[in-house]
Amino acid sequence: MVHYHRYHQPRKGVTDSNKDEESQNLVLDCSTSAYYKRTRPKLLSFLFLITLLSCCYVFAPLFLCPSFPFSLLCNSPGTENDVSRDGVDVYASSTCSSVSAVYFVFYMLFSPNNVLCLFDNAGTICCDRSSYRSDICVMKGDIRTHSASTSVFLFNSRSPDNGSTNAEEELQHEKIKPYTRKWEKSVMNNIDELNLVSKKVNLVSVGGCDVQHDVPAVFFSTGGYTGNVYHEFNDGIIPLYITSQHFNKKVVFVILELHNWWVTKYEDVLSRLSDFPVIDFTKDNRTHCFPEAIVGLTIHDELTVNSALMRGNKSIVDFRNLLDQAYWPRIKGLIHDEEREAQEKLIEQTSSSPSSETSQQHYIKQQVPENPMKKPKLVILSRSGSRSITNENLLVKMAKEIGFLVQVLKPDRTTELAMIYRTLNASDVMIGVHGAAMTHFLFLRPGSVFIQVDPLGTSWAAETYYGEPARKLGLKYIGYEIHPRESSLYVKYDKNDPILRDPTSITKKGWEYTKKIYLDSQKVTLDLGRFRKRLLRAYEYALSKSKLNLQNPPI
């Protein structure tokens, strides 16, 4: 289920009362891994950056090109997919990148975090810890894994000192837990921590590479709340897309706390993001070598992609298109198998019948598509136990009377995602009660209708975690907040009890109250007369959309 911790997170538009009213520029010096804040007037900061940019633009061709081979000044701009030749994307990896300092000065004028990372050369670890959601570190150079010590080393070459016994010198040591719920200490305490160590070594004295990769790596964890579909998408799959899609599949995923079932469940999606098999960091004791790496995942917001922070302005719709590409090969295979089985069954039934030809003609007639103005398809994501709809059978009956073609879908942890995608992708309307399964709205086609039933005590979460993200995907979102009489809690508590009268006062007490009272102990009996109005709106919208599609068919 969704964990309601954003009550304790910094809210958008809210500033720290301890901060000055002036703008603050956060400077992260990657050579020392220390970052500090300094306050300057906005105008002076802007003029300083403009001046520095102008100077860099004039003198960089003389001084930077030999040492910054990937500088925008040294290469022609407008490369395919706006990705630097070395593969690191400043948008995807936040403020840490191996592109030239000139590019960073320009980038910082528009950086949402206003964080400046100063790379001195290859062999440096650069970490951006400015986000309350996740930390991101970028490494470039001779990178080697060492699972026994949960470390990733970045080696810098040195000549052996005459008579010196000190063959190694540690230059930098960073620690990072590559999971996207940084603010939530209870879960982060259980996430494996990686040591990122930059060393100056005599390469002759260190071991070689068991596996040499010529593409970058992305390190992340599938621990934490993995096992809950909301968290699997929100904390894992979507951030993985944000962080890695610019590599155009030329990237290796190195996973901490890897679950085999997770790889099986999401192998269709992973295959659209990487051409290479995943690496189990904990169990694979071989030394894997990479030219560069991103450690940690970038997350934007709940179940969404912020196009303003993405190369090419990619959005959650582009992520949804990737899901389409990932699941359709499997769906086409399922359709082919079903058609083959139906054909075989028909042959068996008609082989002994003298009127087999007539029967086959009848079968063919049944396969003719229905009238283009067919009934809108409504899918009910059914729950059992807590937050289930007790009069679901009457809801189905009412929806059919209105004119819907109704299907009840009850997915569980073993249900193949391609099957769920196939059902929802073909639907016009989806209904469900607030909970992790609402994450499947991502499988609806933009323009479809999503009706979410909000039990008592869940309105804020329902809107924040699913309502707002659904609109960003282009869905027609309809929320339905139940009345106290529609809740099973109505017969359990006095009608003047704050649990019924003022759920917000209860949920503010903490997650344990929300979970125990509203999530685990509540069922819903819909007021069908009241809910019918939402269904009629959805039906009329679906019909009007269908008519519009017929009048303006895709070219």
* Residues 130-153 as b or e (16 or more Cβ within 10 Å = b): bbebbbbbbbbbbbbbbbeeeebb
Decide: 294 and 93 in contact? Cβ < 8 Å.
Answer: yes
Residue 56 confidence (pLDDT): 52
- Contacts of 346 by beta carbon, 8 Å cutoff, 6+ apart: 359, 360, 363
Q: How far is CA 467 from CA 256, 454, 480, in A?
A: 32, 11, 11
Phi and psi angles of residue 233, each rounded to the nearest 5 degrees, phi first? -85, -50
Place of tokens 């964990």: 3
Decide: 466 and 233 in contact? Cβ < 8 Å.
Answer: no
pLDDT in tens, 126-168: 999 999 999 999 999 999 999 999 999 999 886 655 445 556 8
Lowest mean pLDDT among 19-33, 165-179, 194-208, 439-453: 19-33
Instruction: Give the C-alpha separation, 30 to 116, whole Å.
Output: 10
Lowest mean pLDDT among 194-208, 313-327, 401-415, 490-504: 194-208
Instruction: Give the C-alpha separation, 169 to 202, whole Å.
Output: 10
Instruction: Give the C-alpha separation, 278 to 281, whole Å.
Output: 9
Torsion sign over Cα 291, 292, 295, 300: negative
- CA nearest 46: which of 25, 19, 15, 21? 25
Cα 427-429-435 angle, rounded to 5 deg: 105
Decide: 467 and 303 in contact? Cβ < 8 Å.
Answer: no
Decide: 290 and 214 in contact? Cβ < 8 Å.
Answer: no
Q: Is residue 107 classed exposed, middle or buried when 0-12, 13-18 and 19+ CB atoms within 10 A define those classes?
A: middle
Find how far residue 322's CA is from the centre of its chain.
Answer: 12
Q: How far is CA 455 from CA 218, 285, 490, in A?
A: 39, 48, 12
SS3 354: coil
Parallel, antiparallel or unpaired: strands 211-212 and 476-481: unpaired
Residue 20 confidence (pLDDT): 35
- CA nearest 28: which of 109, 106, 97, 110? 97
pLDDT in tens, 250-275: 999 999 999 999 999 999 999 999 99
Query: What tokens were used for 380?
Result: 């009910």
| Long-range CB pairs of 338-347, under 8 A, 24+ apart, other chains included | none
- CA nearest 446: which of 309, 314, 317? 317
Give the whole-number percent of the chain exceeding pLDDT 90.
63
Parallel, antiparallel or unpaired: strands 429-433 and 377-381: parallel
Q: Following DSSP, what letter does each residue of 415-444 receive, concatenated? A: S-HHHHHHHHHT-SEEEEESSGGGGGGGGS
Residue 293 confidence (pLDDT): 97
> Residue 22: pLDDT band by 50, 70, 90 thresholds?
very low
Residue 38 confidence (pLDDT): 37
Q: How far is CA 238 from CA 208, 218, 235, 434, 439, in A?
A: 35, 14, 7, 20, 12
Instruction: Give the C-alpha separation, 26 to 94, whole Å.
Output: 13
Instruction: Give the C-alpha separation, 128 to 551, whole Å.
Output: 51
- CA nearest 210: which of 160, 133, 285, 302? 285
Query: Is the model's pLDDT at 107 over the cut of 80?
Result: no
Query: Is the model's pLDDT at 529 over the cut of 70?
Result: yes
Mean pLDDT (whole number) for 416-420 = 95
CATH number of the domain at 377-551, out of 1.10.10, 3.40.50, 2.60.40, 3.90.320? 3.40.50
Query: Is the model's pLDDT at 221 over the cut of 80?
Result: yes
Residue 379 confidence (pLDDT): 98
Mean pLDDT (whole number) for 489-514 = 95
Instruction: Give the C-alpha separation, 552 to 555, whole Å.
Output: 9
Query: What tokens were used for 140?
Result: 């470039």
Lowest mean pLDDT among 123-127, 211-215, 231-235, 269-273: 123-127
Query: Is the model's pLDDT at 289 over the cut of 50?
Result: yes
Place of tokens 């295979």: 333
- Contacts of 134 by beta carbon, 8 Å cutoff, 6+ apart: 178, 179, 180, 181, 182, 239, 296, 297, 298, 299
* H or E stretch at 23: none
Cα 399-403-405 angle, rounded to 5 deg: 75
Domain layout of the chain by residue ranges: 124-157+168-299, 377-551
Query: What tokens were used for 263?
Result: 């790889």
Beta strand residue intervals within 214-335, DSSP E: 217-221, 252-256, 279-280, 288-295
| Count of all residues that appear for the chain in the document | 555
**Phi-psi map region of 141: left, alpha, beta (phi>0 left; psi -120 to 50 alpha):** left
- CA nearest 411: which of 446, 436, 448? 436
Neighbours of 468 (CB within 10 A): 15
Place of tokens 């329902």: 462
Residue 344 confidence (pLDDT): 72
Decide: 216 and 247 in contact? Cβ < 8 Å.
Answer: yes
> Residue 367: pLDDT band by 50, 70, 90 thresholds?
very low
Instruction: Give the C-alpha separation, 179 to 114, whole Å.
Output: 22
